[in-house]
Structures are given as structure tokens and as C-alpha cells.
Amino acid sequence: MTIEEAKSRIKELSSLLEYHSKKYYVDDAPEISDYEYDRLFYELVDLENEFPELQSPNSPTKRVGGKALDKFDKVTHKVKMGSLSDVFSYEEVITFVNKCEESLGHSCTFSVEPKIDGLSVSLEYIDGELSIGSTRGDGLVGENVTENIKTIRSIPLHIDNNNHILEVRGEVYMPRKNFYALNEKNEKNGGQLFANPRNAAAGSLRQLDSKIAATRGLDIFVFNIQQTDGQEFKSHTEGLDYLKELGFSVIKDRKKLSSSSDIIDRIKELGEMRSSLPYDIDGVVIKADNIDERIVLGENISTPKWAVAYKFPPEQKQTELIDILIQVGRTGVLTPKAILNPVKLAGTTVSAATLHNIDFITEKDLRIGDTVTIQKAGDIIPEVVSVDHSKRKNDSVPYLMPTTCPSCGEPVYKDDEAATRCTNASCPAQLIRTLEHYASRDAMNIDGMGEAVVTLLVNNNLVKDAADFYKLKAEDIAGLDRMGTKSANNLITSIENSKNAGLDKLIYALGIRNIGEKAAKSLADTFLTIDNIEQATKEELCSIDDFGEIMADCVINFFSHPQNKVLIDELKTQNVKTDYEKKISGDKFNGLTFVLTGTLPTMSRSEAEAIIISNGGKTSSSVSKKTNYVLAGAEAGSKLAKAEALGIKIIDEDEFLGMVKNG
């Protein structure tokens, strides 16, 4: 075959494959079998291998993924990818409609659309070719995920239009059947289980290896034209109809409605359809349809006045409370856990939920055998909402917390915070969880010292407190079940390395109540040695930023116990570092306070925080008038909106690194 013949056939095959992809993935009307499609596809693969110079960047063969990336480049959006104001009641919907009508002086027609629960992306086409696919990020800057976008078969790689630029916005999602299949596969292989389809879609779209993204079965609904040249649309509906003609998978089940009552009826209809749809929706978007009317209605600081998103309440299901089990935590708290008859809820199978404490159980009058209503808080954490007393069995009895610890058999007591606690400081369950926390990555970071290994060491009487880690020898570990010489040597090396973790990590590792990573770092930064912290007064502790009386009392209480003093002395004997070196490499951020939000492209938030502190700056967990900069990454939330409202400077990772470099 000559190069000209190959060029002609490649063009023909590409056109055929794009056509049949649209018929299958967008129109749900396939015209050829999978076998016939595969024959065309692999013919194209063979030709491109033979004539690599003829391969197009947007060839259908890119659907299976390409070369893995080291990181995602950043994309500055030419048109801001904004967010919508949320409403949660029908009264708020009525208020929104009335405000629009009052501002316009006449009735308004709205496009009412299901709100897909996925990840918002921009698709930019230059002269009909897909040029860039990017995530929303913070609305101003996102990540270039073009290679992963190309693996989504319902996205056209080229379109037939006369515009130089066409940018559209859509929601990438994972169909439920693909989500269930992915979690089932991961569970069999011991891989990560995703909390819900949205998390799975977000994780898949941000894979550095597009070949992995190609296996995840992602899909998209396009719901807006961001920009185009040489063409204007009178209405949102007209623009979406145009996109559908071009071959885009456009948002389904949309209707044009005017009255509040019709909109509310439609919200109810979509709510009833929710569980039967093959994809997740978490609400309904209500947008003024007429483009000129949108201009009149205008914008708020961070959201348009011409649109709102009605958010559905969490999905709820009824199931049976089979049993209540008690778990003992590292601080000795006995936490009741509901064992449920498994039920599908918000994308996953739920078989358990926390019951918090005995007050929670008593307040809801929960009994074993009851029919309970459950939901997922934030669509992630299962919780029991209520009991259906009409279905209660006649022989049910009120639940009582045990009077002794299920782990050690010692008495328990109820404290002032409604928690039931074990009185035995040497309780095995507490000890295992305490040691597991001490060794965790964010604490002393003893690699390989997970729950199973900790349990093994405790059960073999090799470890009774954290100081015993540093007395272990490789030969002590090598002979244990499922351990060997190599594993033992690696573990001993990791234990030895942890001695230099630093005072802030040690304070967090000790598990002082109400003292998290940030508070531990503040203590270390303020007092510099563990002895100084032990001798600190309540007044001195309360003078630390973001430190309150409860936190101060917890620190004082911890160091007042003799066994804790003995532990610290033993850690010193084992040469565990108990002082703190302020790593100040510069003063570029002296007097400046940063708030970090969202996911940064190339570094973790803790890495960015370390850079800020090393340059004399401070970080805070909340935005206020005292905040100087908000460092925002992808999926930034309410902190970003508050910063915009207060007029605080928002920077991205590039600007931040520029400040570090140039001051």
C-alpha cells in the first residue's frame, strides 16, 4: 500500500469509527456489531503502526490511552468555570423565581435539568479538533487531562463546524454499573474501594496513566457552551440543541418551564426518577434560558443570579438492624456499631454504621431487630436517621451498653462527654490502636507497622508501649507468623529512622486528646522541647494561636499522668528525638497568614505548609480578614468563596512557587 492509499484509508477508518462510536455511546443506536467495530479499529491500529507519520493526535486509537504522564500541566481557563448557589427547599426555589421575575419585570422561562454528580470539565476545540480537556480546578485554573478525556468514547475527537474556537463544559461521571464492577474488581484484587461513583470518576480522570483511565468506563454529559466565535445563540436550549447536532452527549431530561409550581413538580419527578437512572444525580439545576435575560439578571461576587442548584436531601433506605457491636478505640472509648442487613445506598452497599454513643441509641430508642432508616452523611459516611416503630417486633428490648470492656473485661464508666470508657489503661484493644496510631504515616511513620503487625507484636508480648518498638531486634520479629528475615530487617530500619521524626510528629503520635497534627506542630514550634511543653502553664498554652482551654487542659492532663512521664523518659533513653528545630530558611513570608484549600497539582498541602512555615509564615484552617493569601487548588470549596467575598488575594501553585523563589 502506498502512503497516499494509507492516508486515504486511515481517514476513512477514522471517520467510520467516530460515526459508530457516536451511534453506540451517544445515540444508543448501534448499527454494527462489536466484532465489526473491532475489525475496523485494529485495521486502523495496523496502518498507524506501519505509517506512524500519518497518525493524528485525535485518532480513534487514542481511546485506549497513550503514554503515562509525570504530572498534569495547568490550564488557565479563558472563561471562568463558575459555580452555582445551592438551595435546599421549595421555598428557596420560589424566592429565586420571584427575584428573577422582579428584576426582569416579566415572567422568565427556565431550563430545568438534572444535576449530574460528577466532575466538571472543559473541552476546547480548535478548528474542529479537540485541543484541550481540563478539569474545573478552582474555576480559574484547572489541570490538563486531555489524554484521559480522549478515552471517553462519547466525547467527539473532532466536530464539523465552522468556528475557530468552540469550548463546552460538561460533567464527567461513572455509570453505576461501571462503578459496581470497578469496586468488585478492586475488592477481589485487594485494591482501593471508592466511596461513590463521583469519587471514582474524579480518581479515574486524574490518573497519570491514561491506559488506566480508559478501562474505567467514564462518560460525560455536556451542559453549556463556554465560548465560541462567529456564532451567537438566543437561548441556552438553542445552544444545547446545536451541540447535540454536532455529536455531543448533551444533558438529558431537560425541560423549559416558567412557573414555580411547574419547576417544583419537575424537581419531584426527577427525585422519583433518581434511583432508576443509570447514573447519579444530586440535584436539579434551574437556569434562565434566554441569554439576554441572563445579562440583565447579572452576577453575584462568585455565582450568577440567573441560576441556582436545588440539592436533593441525602438518599435514604430502610433496612434491618441485625446487631450492635462494640469497638474499643485507642483512648478507651467504647463505640457502638450498627450491623445492618446490607442495602444499596448512594452508590455502595452499606452493611454497618456508627451509633456514636449510648445517648444517641437512647435518644432514637434503637433496638436490635428494628427497621431503621439510613443515609450517607455527605454521601459518604453511613448513619442511622430514625426507627420505624410501626415495624418493631413485640419481643424487642432496649439496648444497654456493657458494664465491662469487651476487650479486657475491666469496668467501664460514662464521662462528661457522653462517651463510655474503659478504666484499664493496659486494655489490649486500646494498646493496639494506640501503637497503630503512633506508627502511622502522619505520626512517627514506621513503614510496615500496620494493624496486623502491631497485633502480632502485642499478642507475642514483644511490645507493651511505644518505647518497646525501639527495643525490638530483627531476630525477635523474623520468627513470627507471616514474617521473615527481610521483612524483619526492613521493619527495624524503619523503626530506627522514626527516631528522627521530630518533636511535632512525636507529640501527635502520643495521641493526646484533642491534639491533632496542626496543634502538635504549634506546640513544638512554640516550646521547642518536650520538657518545656510538660512544664507549660494553662495560660501559656492558651496563648498559642487556635488553642483553647479544652486543648490546654488535655495537654496538662496528659503530662500529669505518671505512666506518660515514664513513657517519655523511656523514649529519651531510646534516643527518640524530643526537641524541635525550627527550619526557617528565609523570611519571605514573615507576618503573612495563608489558608490552603483544594488539591494542588504537584505537592501536598502539608508540603506547601512546610514551605510557608520555613519562610517565616503561618497557616490557618479558616479564612478571615487576617488572612493574607488563599492558596487554592482543584476542587476548592467554601473557603475560596469566602476569600472572594472578603477580597482576599487568591493564588495558585505557580504563583505560590514564584513567591517562594522571588519573594
- By annotation, the residues acting in catalysis are 115
Other beta carbons within 10 angstroms of residue 227's beta carbon come to 15
Three-state SS letters, 445-504: CCCCCCHHHHHHHHHCCCCCCHHHHHHCCHHHHHCCCCCCHHHHHHHHHHHHHHCCCCHH
Q: What single DSSP character describes residue 88?
A: -
Distances (CA, A) of 376 to 71, 102, 131, 173, 348: 33, 38, 39, 19, 10
Strands 307-311 and 85-87: parallel
Contact 334, 401 (CB under 8 A): yes
Greatest distance between any 2 Cα atoms in the chain? 87
The span from the CA of 263 to the CA of 276, in Å, is: 21
Cα–Cα distance, 330 to 427 (Å, whole number): 9
Which helix (DSSP H) or strand (DSSP E) does residue 233 occupy?
none
Size of the chain, expressed as the number of residues it contains = 663
In sign, the C-alpha dihedral spanning 641, 642, 645, 646 is: negative
Do residues 408 and 225 touch, judged by C-beta distance below 8 A? no
Neighbours of 451 (CB within 10 A): 12
Bridge-based pairing state of the strands 307-311 and 281-288: antiparallel
Q: Write the DSSP assignment of 163-190 as a string of letters.
A: -SEEEEEEEEE--HHHHHHHHHHHHHTT
| Distance (Å, whole) CA 509 – CA 558 | 13
CA distance 435 to 408: 17
How far apart, in whole angstroms, are the C-alpha atoms of residue 645 and residue 422? Answer: 47
DSSP code for 301: S
